Each structure stands twice: as structure tokens, then as C-alpha cells.
Amino acid sequence: MWEFITSFYESTIFVYGLMLLIIYAILAILSFIAIASYVKKNKYFDYDAIVSSPLTPGISVIAPAFNEGLTIISNVKSLLTLNYPVFEVIIVNDGSTDETLQLMIAEFSLIVVEFAYNPKIKTQPVKCIYKSTQAAFSKLIVIDKVNGKSKADASNAGVNVAAYNYFLCTDVDCILDKDTLLKLVEPIMKHNKGRVIATGATLRIANSCDFDGTLITRMRPPKSLIPRFQEIEYIRSFVMGKVGWGYINCVSNVSGGLGLFDKDIAIKAGGYDFLSFGEDMDLITRMCRYSVDNKIKYAICYVPITLCWTEGPSTLKTLMRQRTRWARGLAQIVSSHFSLLFNPRYGKIGMIAFPYIFFFELLAPVIEFLGILYFIFLIYFGLINWHFALLLLVFVYSYAVMISTLAILWDQFTFRYYKTWGEVLRLCLTTFLEFFLFHPFIVIFSIRGYLFFLSRKKHSWGNMERRGFNNTTLSTAK
């Protein structure tokens, strides 16, 4: 009996592991195809045509801000100078307790306007809506609302005010490429297999980059180890993961840091869920469900270029908070949308994307954790064939390093990120350490998140301390 259990367990783990490796290989191939075709198409794509056309659709850029006094002015200015012919910038001041709002009022000469606010999505009450009296800032709208303790609630208020049919959701502290809107709107214009309900792009870690005001002047891989691991992780999960999934229209999440959405569908799907810890993924899941339920042939696209830089947690403690929250969000989403699992009615999302999330994203840390326990158990009873065990370990290790290295190569296909070859090499070599120094923590943090989910621990927001980007060498003189 005991033998049966162990052999059953071992073979399950074996099949599971094998499938994971195969999926990674497939993703690597898919993302390669997607990137190659993107590069080809971009050789001749004429972005000027979008800028100069009167038919170009407008976009509402929505950025919630909570206590961002340090950087708010330069970030709003940078949003206002995005390259796009028709857009508005909606800043949602989510009940900041610092001088965020006052700074904006002074800088942009804001006044309260009598705005007929129509909450298509229910949110915490909106106190006032401000517009600038300076015509140069006529694109700017500032919403002042009661703190809803979540980015979701603030984003929803922005969506309610948005005038255009598409909205870009970002964080006020994210740094966007100046062509972000042009590059994200391109798939919406060109995709010929259904209505594009959302597009996303790669995010990167901003920690060691040089800025001039809010424009990246020099990209660098983060100098300290924790953010650098995250850079690799982001490259892998966006360039290889999401782009690969995007190629077969199975994207399950468009990151909260940067995403362009079809407003109509987002509103009909109910907007962001303010109770969710993973509100971005939750919204995408509901938008997909809504589309299928209403027989809308939808697509979610990912562009394989970096358009957004965000400050990653630089200490283990902040990283733990972030990852615990993500894991909790994931568990929430899987449990609330469990009926999607292997539901043929929902097509690819039911049969491919959601099962992948369930088995290989949600369960992976658990299985890995149990595997380690089992391993320790075997060692304790001296049942282990060290020779084979080490070989298998080296196998998994080298495979993991290979996938990460490939992701870095794929990433370099679209653009020569970083200035020197040395910086790329440093990033490549970091992949050798990730497996031992970073990955175990991620597993533990995820499990912590699941435990919180199971015990329904009270939500604590964990505001990241931001150091601000302005303290770099080339800081703007005000």
C-alpha cells in the first residue's frame, strides 16, 4: 500500500514536471514566432498615419494616485506629453493624506467644475472633479474621491469619468514610453480575428535606470540583487509567457501597471472588483466571460516591447508583501471563477488558459513545497538515490536557466535594451543564482498568500515606500 502511494505520488510529480517543461518549451516557440512577426511588421508600420488621421480613436489615460506628493507633478506632466493625437489624462486622487492634490491644484491651476458624475460602476463617493483653467492642460481631469482602500475603486472612478471608448490603466508612479498609446492601439486597429478587448506590453524594473525628469535616458538592469531577479522574472513572464499566450489568444492577465482596455466591455463586465487582491486579472477574466456569454469574438493582445517601467520592491520585506498579495489574488480569482475550469463553453479560456493558471500557477508552489518535504522525508529514511537525485536537480536547474536565458535573447530581438554587452551578461549570469536565491522565497511567499486566503486574514494594503525617481543625477531643475 505504502509503496503504491509513493509510486503514484512520484509518477504524478513526474508527469506534472514534464508537462511544465513542455509548456515552457511551447511558450518559447510561440513567443519566438510572435516576436519575429512583430519585428517584421514593425519595419514598415507607419505610426505617423495614426497621429495624422482624423479617424484615430481617443484614449482616456487613467492613473490613480495615493500619497504620491514626491513625484506627482513630473509624472502628470509626462502623461500629458504622451505621443498621441486624441487623449485625456484622468488622475484619481484616492483620498491622499499628503499634499498630492494641493500640489496639482497649484501647478496646473485647477478649479472645481460642476461635473455630472455618472457612476456606471459603483465607487466610493467622489468629492470633487477638477479641471485646469490653463488651456495648455485642457487634457487633464483630476478626481478627488474618498479613499476606497484599493486601486480598483480608484480606477473605477476614472473609468466612470472617461470620455473616450478606450482607456489606459496605469499607476501614477509608472514611467511610460512616450509612444505607449500608439504602440498599444496598433493591435486594436490591426487585429483581424475579432474585437480586441485589451492590450498589454512588457513591464520592467526601473530601479537602476537613469532618468531626466520622467524620461528614461539610460536603461540598466537593477544593480542590487532582489530587483534584478525581478527584472529577469518580468522579462520571462512577459516576453516569453504573455506574448506566447497572446499568439494563441490565451492571455489570462493584462498587468495593472499598463493595459489598454475596451471601455464598453470593461464597464459591462462590472469594472474592477475592489475586494480583489488581483483586480487586474479578475477584470480580464470577467471581460472574457462577458464576451463569450454575449457571443463577442474577442482577442487580447500583447506587444513584445517594454513600454512601462515600475519601481520593484528592493527589500525582502516589501517583496514578501507584494507577492503574498499576488498569491492571495490568484487564489481568489481561481476560487471565484472556478466554473471556468475545463468548461468547453468558454473555449480557449476554459480549456487552456484557466487550467494552466490552476495547475501551473496556483498549484505549482504547493506541489513544489510538498516535493521538498517529500525529499526531506526520503533523505531522513535514507531512501534516496543521491546520484539520480542530483542528476534530476541539475536537469531542472539547467532547463530553468536555459528558459530564462532564451527569454533574455527574445527580449533583445525587438530592441537593444541596455547599453552595453556587459550589462546583458550580468543579467544572464544572474539567472544562475535565481533558482537558489530567489525562487525559494517566491514559493514561500506564495504559500503564505494562500494561507492568508484560506484564513481570510484582514486586508492590509502594504503601501510600498517609494524613494522617488527624481533623486537621480540628471534630475530636472525646477
Partner 1 sequence: MQKILYIEDELLMQNIVDKILTREGYEVQVASDGKTGMQKLTENNFDFDLIITDIMMPYANGFEIISKIRNHTSPKKIPIIVVSTIGNEDAILEAFKLGADDFLKKPIMAGELLIRVKRLAGQ
Partner 2 sequence: MDFSYFTDASVAQLLEEFYYSPLIIQIAIFFIFFSVLCILVTYTSILTKRHRGYRLEKKLERINPIIDELILKNIIFNDELNKEVEEGEPANLIPLHDFQKTPFKSAFGKQALINRIISFRKSFKGTIAFYLRQLYIDLELDKQSFNKMKSTKWDKKVVALVELTAMDMSIADVNILPLTNSKNSELRAEARHAYIKLSKNEPFKFFDVVTEPLLMWDQIQLFKIITTTEDIAIPNFARWVTYSTNKSIVSFCLKLIVYYNQVDGIPAVIKLLDTKDHDLRASAINCLGKLKVDEVENKLLDIYGNQTLNCQIEILKAIGRIRSGKSIDFLKYEFLHSSDFDLRKNAARSIISGGTKAQETIQLLLDTATNENLLILKHCMNPLIKF
Residues at the interface with partner 2 (CB under 8 A): 14, 40-41, 43-44, 46, 48-50, 52-57, 111, 113-116, 118, 131-133, 138, 163, 186, 188-192, 388, 391-392, 394-395, 398-399, 401-402, 405-406, 408-409, 412-413, 416, 421, 424-425, 428
Does position 52 interact with partner 1 (CB under 8 A)? The reply is yes
> Applying CB under 8 A, which part among 134-142, 149-157, 223-231, 240-248 lies near partner 1?
134-142
As given in the structure block, the three cell numbers for residue 376 are 526531506
Asked if 357 and 252 count as a contact pair (C-beta separation under 8 A), the reply is: yes
Which one of partner 2, partner 1, none is in contact with 133 (Cβ closer than 5 to 8 A by kind)? partner 2
Does position 140 interact with partner 1 (CB under 8 A)? The reply is no
Out of 1, 2, 4, 48, name the contact with partner 1 by CB under 8 A.
48
Which one of partner 1, partner 2, none is in contact with 137 (Cβ closer than 5 to 8 A by kind)? partner 1
Alpha-carbon distance of 162 to 89, in angstroms, equals: 9
Alpha-carbon distance of 315 to 465, in angstroms, equals: 11
Does position 137 interact with partner 1 (CB under 8 A)? The reply is yes
Q: Which is nearer to partner 1, 211 or 229 (CB)?
A: 211
As given in the structure block, the three cell numbers for residue 142 are 483630476
Asked if 331 and 453 count as a contact pair (C-beta separation under 8 A), the reply is: yes
CB of 295 vs partner 2, minimal distance in Å: 15
Which one of partner 1, partner 2, none is in contact with 77 (Cβ closer than 5 to 8 A by kind)? partner 1
Alpha-carbon distance of 272 to 62, in angstroms, equals: 13
- Can you spell out the DSSP letters for 132-148? ESSGGGTTEEEEEE---
Out of 13, 20, 36, 51, name the contact with partner 1 by CB under 8 A.
51
Which one of partner 1, partner 2, none is in contact with 136 (Cβ closer than 5 to 8 A by kind)? partner 1
> Applying CB under 8 A, which part among 83-91, 346-354, 420-428, 433-441 lies near partner 1?
83-91
Does position 83 interact with partner 1 (CB under 8 A)? The reply is yes
Q: Which is nearer to partner 1, 182 or 292 (CB)?
A: 182
189 CB neighbour count, 10 Å cutoff: 13
One-letter amino acid identity for 400?
A: A
Out of 4, 54, 116, 192, name the contact with partner 1 by CB under 8 A.
54
CA angle 12, 15, 19 (to 5 degrees): 140
Residue 455 DSSP SS3: helix
Alpha-carbon distance of 358 to 319, in angstroms, equals: 23
Out of 178, 191, 195, 348, name the contact with partner 1 by CB under 8 A.
178
CB of 136 vs partner 1, minimal distance in Å: 4
Alpha-carbon distance of 416 to 306, in angstroms, equals: 11
CB of 416 vs partner 2, minimal distance in Å: 5
Backbone angles phi, psi at 176, to 5 degrees: -105, 145
Site for partner 1, rule CB under 8 A: 48, 51-54, 56, 77-78, 80-81, 83-86, 134-138, 178, 213, 215, 476
